[in-house]
Amino acid sequence: MTEAVGAVLVVEDEPGIRRFVCDGLHRAGYRTTEAATAHEGLAAMASAETQLVILDLGLPDMDGLSFIGEVRRWSSLPILILSARSREQDKIAALDAGADDYLTKPFGVGELLARIRVLIRRHVPDGAPIHRFGAIEVDLARRLAMRDGADVHLTQIEFRLLAVLLGNSGKVMTHRHLMREVWGPGHADQEHYVRIYVRRLRQKLEDDATRPRHILTETGVGYRFQP
């Protein structure tokens, strides 16, 4: 069974291979999100609770290396390459671009699952803190947020923003700093994204989103998490 609750995102344009991979993951207890193109995959990462990405390099709308580069601008989620490209230089290029592991086709489901387990263990450190405030409990290691024991659904970006705020509890975080940490350096000037997602977090986590007690606004500067 899986060691955390996030879904595995499978970005693969061949329907047969995508179904083969997802069926194997389902039998092992994983949830999956499927994407047939790079742009579908990037959209899924922004909206789904992705825990790990399985990526084919030969996508119809974007080369896999470019996909990795886009993801690494704002996320450190583990990326496992599944590709028919077996040359050493192809593997080196993918790993240098930011992939975490590389498995060539054809492959066995057993080896795929073993590599996934290794990447998940490596990505989620033991003893990651659990934060509690009000009726909310946030488990950073398992990527869980709960209110009175019931799951609170947070998107990938919402969880990353919350994790940055929790990790800097009591500190004022500027709009620009939050943009760099959550969305990446290419979005540092788009501060309205922060306001939108802070509003969503308050609606999901605060007792009264109009009078927040924990996710506080520092007027003209940014935000601060108050435990």
Residue 72 phi/psi, 5° resolution?
-70, -10
**Neighbouring residues of 112: CB distance < 8 A, sequence distance ≥ 6:** 21, 24, 54, 80, 82, 103
pLDDT in tens, 137-186: 998 877 789 999 899 998 878 888 998 899 888 888 888 888 877 876 66
pLDDT at 22: 96
pLDDT in tens, 59-95: 999 999 999 988 887 777 889 999 999 888 899 899 9
pLDDT at 77: 83
pLDDT in tens, 88-145: 889 989 998 889 899 998 899 999 999 998 888 776 555 557 889 989 999 887 778 9
Q: Tokens in use for 29?
A: 């207890």
pLDDT at 2: 44
Q: Tokens in use for 128?
A: 């990651």
Burial degree of 76 (CB within 10 A; 0-12, 13-18, 19+): exposed
Enter the pTM of the model.
0.60
pLDDT at 211: 94
* Domain annotation for the chain: domains and CATH numbers: 7-123 (3.40.50.2300), 130-225 (1.10.10.10)
pLDDT in tens, 2-49: 444 468 999 999 999 999 999 999 999 899 999 999 999 988 887 667
pLDDT in tens, 201-212: 999 999 999 999
Residue 29 phi/psi, 5° resolution?
100, 5
Instruction: Please tell me the distance from the alpha carbon of residue 202 to that of residue 219, in angstroms, as a whole number.
Output: 16
Residue 142 phi/psi, 5° resolution?
-95, 0
